[in-house]
Structure formats: C-alpha cells, structure tokens
Structure 1
C-alpha cells in the first residue's frame, strides 16, 4: 500500500512494534515507496521504552528528538490480560493491583507518550493510538471487563483533550483514536470471537487507510477500522 497524505519521504514512528499490529504496521510502512524511514520503539529496541516505566518514556523521546519530526506516529500498545489476571466478569473480581497495572499500560503510559512525543510530530502529521470499541461508554451493552473498558475510555479522553490543546498551535495535525476490531494476536486469542479474528496485516492496512484518509477537522475523533465513527 502507499499512503498519500504525508507527502514523499515521510518518516514514521511505531511504538509497540513487537506486538502483532505494531509489527504489521512496520512491515506495511516499509513496503510503502513514499516512506523514507520507520523507527521502531519498544521494550527491546534501542532506545528502549516501557509504558510501565515513566522515566523510560521521557528518555526515549529525548533520544529520538534529533530524528524529529515524524510525519506519522502510531501507538500500538495495550493490555487486556496477563500472568495471574483475566478481564473481570463482575465487580467482585476487581483487584486494585490489576486495575493499576492495566491503567498504567492503557492510559497513564499513553498519556506520557502524548506529553513527550507530540513535540516530535510534524505540524501537519498524524498520531494515532489503538483504543477499543469496548472503551465506548455509549456502546457498553454487556458490562464486565471493568479495567480494560475504563482504561480505554480514559485513553479516549486523554487523546481528545490533547487534540484540542495541540490544535491551538498546530491546526493541521491529526490525533486519532482507532478501534482495530478483533485481530489474530495473543491479546484476543483466549476469548470468544477469536475464531473470527482478522490477520494483523489486514487490520493494520485498514487502520493506515483510515489515518491516511482523515483530515485535520477529524482530529480528536474515534474511528473503527472500517472508517466509521465510534461513539464515545
């Protein structure tokens, strides 16, 4: 695929490049003849960055400042389950430590990414974060998954608020929340619906198309992989 809204020789930064979608983003961007460089950032890259270690976020941004500006930034991170915990089915399952861990990865860490990395974004560039439809308050019909739902709803608000502030100085920039749908990945594998999951490369291509087709007027909005707006 070839993206057209970033001009020739654009440069991209993919945070969370070791994940299924992050890796697929990197592959697709490297195949784009208009993309001059793809910089990968994660726990095992140099510089390294871990959303659970706030100081590493600031250090990574400082290390990459000389390579700025980036015309495209993608935050392809998130946690739904992990060693010793699964999404909660009831209030009785809530655990303070799990809530803190999920919010750190899905909300607090990304907020610090916005703080430290937005200054490295090209004034006419785009930054997109992976959210989830289950983070939509209006669309919540089934309940459950307290930590994941709430942390993604918080991410949506953080991105929306950052987009408003960023637009005051950079009105041509695009900041977007994206719902990727169910993707074949370790995150979705244990859950119902995984059998209908799409390949990461397909989902990544769809999401890149949404970003590429977006306009500055849509900054601060929430879109699904098919381009449809998702309610807050």
Structure 2
C-alpha cells in the first residue's frame, strides 16, 4: 500500500496512536491530529475547518480514529429505559457528525488513488445485532457507516481509483474497552493497527464504500 504521506485523525487515542506509530515505523511521513495535542474538536465545525483547512495535501492515506462509547462518566445503555437524550446526542455528535465534518475535506486532501479508513464497530451492524442494548453507540456507528458509504460514492465520482471504507478493529486493549474486557478476544492496539493497515492495503476500488473487519471480512450493514 503506497502511503508516503499519511494523516491520522484521533492520533492521541489508543488505536490512532498505534496506527500513527506503525506508519512511522514503516518510514511514512505522518501528520497527527488530535484533541489532546492539537485542540482539534471534531464536533465543532469551526475547529474542523480551521485545522483541516490549514493542511496541505495530498495524503496517500487518511485514517479517522475518533469515537466514544458513552459520555464521560457514563456507560452504554443496557435497555431502552436507560436512554437519555443529552447522552445520546453527545455520542451521535462524536461518532457520526464529527466524522462527517471530517469527510467533507477528504476529497481535497486525498491523493489520486489514495485510501481512507474510518474506524467503526461491528455493533453498528443492524444485521448482526442479536442482543440489543448499547442503543446510542449502535445507532451512532450505524449512522457513521451510512455516512462513509455515501461519501465513498461521492468520492468515486471524482476519483474512481480512490478507496474509502469503514473498519472494525476488533476488541482492542485500550482505556475505551477496559471495563468490558473478557467478553471478547482482546488484541493490543499495535496488533489492531497492523491488522487494519493490512486490510486497507489489500482492498481494491470496487470495495470502496463497504464495511470490513480486522480480518478483511465484510461486515453486514
């Protein structure tokens, strides 16, 4: 996968930092952008415009690794009666609206034939939902998947060789998942980064707009 220049958004998080470090270890020039280190606020349109508008492309690879499971101090809902409007709005803002604002800039920043991946989650799959619960998180990732799919269609009109996909990294050992360890096989952030980069590298333009897990298997919508 040619990626002389890469942009990692959310580079201070567990997976984002691992992705940036893995790319740098491979000799790539990586631009890191995050809320913690740069004041980048994905849910603030002015912040997104200021930071991304100042970047000069093209980037051969763009990775969007932002997201929350629930508002700080809260957990995902286990039932419908646990839904709170302000909590749901916050999760939707970070997980769906933020990436949508970022994706507005991808057609300008992505190199011809470049690749872009947005971290999603298998629990956002409607077809794969068998146990319910986690309503805000599931809904936000389902919305994100729709946004990625639509953005990929639009991107293809500009560059039919470009690739934009949603990616499920598996259950990764980060602060994000610490309270939910034990329910699924856990992998390190470093292993997840390697897996995701391999998946992206093996895709072809016909697969743009789809949803893949860390093994390269397509996830149902």
Q: Same fold (TM over 0.5)?
A: yes
3-state SS of 2:116 partner: strand
By how many angstroms is 1:81 displaced? 2.6
Per the TM alignment, residue 49 of structure 1 is displaced from its structure 2 partner at its CA by 1.2
**Are 1:158 and 2:147 counterparts?**
yes
CA distance in 1, matches of 2:184, 2:135: 23
CA change 1:21–1:88 in 2 (3 A) is same
Distance 2:135 2:15 in 1: 24
Aligned to 1:40: 32
1:201 corresponds in structure 2 to 190
Q: Secondary structure at the match of 2:164?
A: strand
Whether 1:56 aligns to 2:52 is no
**1:124 and 2:120 equivalent?**
no
Q: Is 2:12–2:37's contact at 8 Å kept on the other side of the alignment?
A: no
Asked whether the equivalents of residues 182 and 194 of structure 1 are also in contact (C-alpha less than 8 Å), the reply is: no
Q: 5+ unaligned residues in a row in structure 2: which ranges?
A: none
Written as runs of structure 1 = structure 2, the 5 A alignment for 1:78-227 is 78-193=67-182, 196-227=185-216
Structure 1 runs (4+) greater than 6 angstroms displaced: none
TM-score (norm 2): 0.96
Matched, 1:6 2:30: no
CA contact (8 A) 2:71 2:87 kept: no
1:30 to 21, 24, 34: 24
CA 1:134–1:195 in structure 2 vs 1: closer, same or farther (change >3 Å)?
A: closer
1:18 aligns with 12
For these two proteins, the number of residue pairs brought into alignment is 221
Contact 1:129 1:176 in 2 (8 A): yes
The alignment partner of 1:97 has SS state of helix
Following the alignment from structure 1 to structure 2, what is the Cα–Cα distance between the partners of residues 207 and 217? 18
Cross-structure match for 1:231: 220
Question: Could you give the per-residue CA deviations for residues 135-176 of structure 1, whole angstroms, max 9, x where no partner exists?
Answer: 000000010000000000000000000101110111000001
Find the aligned partners of 1:123 and 1:194 in 2 and give their Cα distance. 41
Tell me which of 22, 47, 68 is aligned to 2:57.
68
Aligned counterparts of 1:195 and 1:165: Cα–Cα separation in 2: 35
Inter-partner Cα distance in structure 2 for 1:176 and 1:19: 20
Query: Separation in 2 of the partners of 1:44 and 1:205?
Result: 24
